[in-house]
Amino acid sequence: MPKTSRYLLFLSALLLSVLACGESGEKISATIPPEQDTAISQQTLPKGERTLELDVNPSQNGDYDQAIEHARQLGAESIRLSVFWDELEPAPGVFNPEPNWLAIANDYYPAQGFRLSLVIAVLDTTEIRLPQDLQGKPLDHPEVIARFQDLLDDIATQIPGLELTSLAIGNEIDGVLGAGPDAWAAYQTFYAAGADHARSLWPGVPVGTKVQFVGLLGPSARFARSLNQSSDVIMTTYYPLQDDFSVREPGVIQSDFQRLVEAYPDREIQITEIGYPSGEANGSSPQNQAEFIRHMFSAWDEHAEQITLLSYSWLSDLSGSSVKELTQYYGLSNRAFGEFLRTLGLRTYPGKGKNKPGYQIFKQEAAARGWE
């Protein structure tokens, strides 16, 4: 799914938001229903070595510092940031993006005490994000591989102060690669070379590539398994939706996580995106979202030895204009898809934003495990 981070970093000390301010969202009370007031999971597992991460975006007022403070209150230790190859290298061998999100991140996040998970979107769900002069070349072409290694070299010079939680090469790559063995084979060659080079630049930082949950366990599972032989960690994105973007029931995450760890026994797994919309068009509600979050932490406890990171999408709902831009990017005009994107947040969008019921449940469940 799309990353709001490319719109949501801010220039200078505040990193001014580039999300368009606009349409208001649903009216939601921050009050937790009485039956949820004290319903923290009865059995919780201390956080241990696990990492809790958040994709942080501001509400309509554009106050990113306020958003970061919410992330801190929720117990997040790491922030997710996605960058795109074609934006980082607008001309062959020229690395002068405007704005330079990596340099901004390097100045901002260490001072705030956050680590960063970096996603380099070579492939992005439905889009190939190679520089224009490389478009059309196979991913395993020597020039493409060499140019990507040069890109990694430049990225390393931009972020000397960042402590990376992980590095992902490609986002939801199965959406682009489909079920064709040749496409997967070409990407595997490209990815193996890129991952090796990344390890030389960031020793000890786990490197992986993001595959959708259905991609890991569905028709492309055998290709993903072969590809992940070159990965330090298994990375996947998880949104429990039906094909029409209606939600599955909140507790389904328990069995889904069980299937995931059984498919990759003895491998470290990172849930690099996870979320649950609250929109009525998705057959959901703020209360359903809160219940999902409760199940999410419980399911994580059950598989804490394998699932080492969980990255929630996202802090605040989106504006209507941002949803319009993203639905155009992904070529989907379905209203339910738009509402899925818009209502993923733990907080509402208008004004300063208001906490949804899921915000407090998230905070309670995180604190019960030692994230606070």
Percent of the chain with pLDDT over 90: 87
The answer to whether residue 27 scores a pLDDT higher than 70 is no
Over residues 228-259, the pLDDT tens digits come to: 999 999 999 999 999 999 999 999 999 999 99
Q: In terms of pLDDT, which residue wins out, 35 or 343?
A: 343
Give 28's pLDDT tier (boundaries 50, 70, 90): very low
Per-residue model confidence (pLDDT) at position 15 = 32
Per-residue model confidence (pLDDT) at position 42 = 59
Integer Cα distance of 58 and 311 in angstroms: 17
CA angle, 334 then 82 then 308, to 5°: 100
The percent helix, strand, coil of the chain (3-state, each to 5) is 40, 15, 40
User: Which strand (E) or helix (H) includes residue 262?
Assistant: helix 252-263
Supply the DSSP string of 265-310, one letter for each residue: TT--EEEEEE-----GGGT--HHHHHHHHHHHHHHHHHTTTTEEEE
Half-sphere exposure of 280 (CA within 13 A, CB side): 4
Per-residue model confidence (pLDDT) at position 43 = 84
Per-residue model confidence (pLDDT) at position 8 = 39
Lookup result for tokens 């901002």? 108
Neighbours of 72 (CB within 10 A): 16
Mean pLDDT of 273-293: 98
Q: Could you tell me the domains of the chain? A: 5-368 (3.20.20.80)
Give 333's pLDDT tier (boundaries 50, 70, 90): confident
Mean pLDDT of 338-353: 98
Contact 213, 237 (CB under 8 A): yes
Instruction: Please state, rounded to an integer, the average pLDDT across all residues of the chain.
Output: 90
User: Which strand (E) or helix (H) includes residue 166?
Assistant: strand 164-171
The answer to whether residue 266 scores a pLDDT higher than 80 is yes
Per-residue model confidence (pLDDT) at position 170 = 98
Q: Are strands 115-124 and 127-128 parallel, antiparallel or unpaired?
A: antiparallel
The answer to whether residue 30 scores a pLDDT higher than 60 is no
Per-residue model confidence (pLDDT) at position 9 = 35
Give the global pTM: 0.90
The answer to whether residue 210 scores a pLDDT higher than 80 is yes
Per-residue model confidence (pLDDT) at position 274 = 98
Per-residue model confidence (pLDDT) at position 39 = 43
| Structure tokens, 119 | 């996603």
Per-residue model confidence (pLDDT) at position 224 = 98
Integer Cα distance of 348 and 320 in angstroms: 12
Give 149's pLDDT tier (boundaries 50, 70, 90): very high
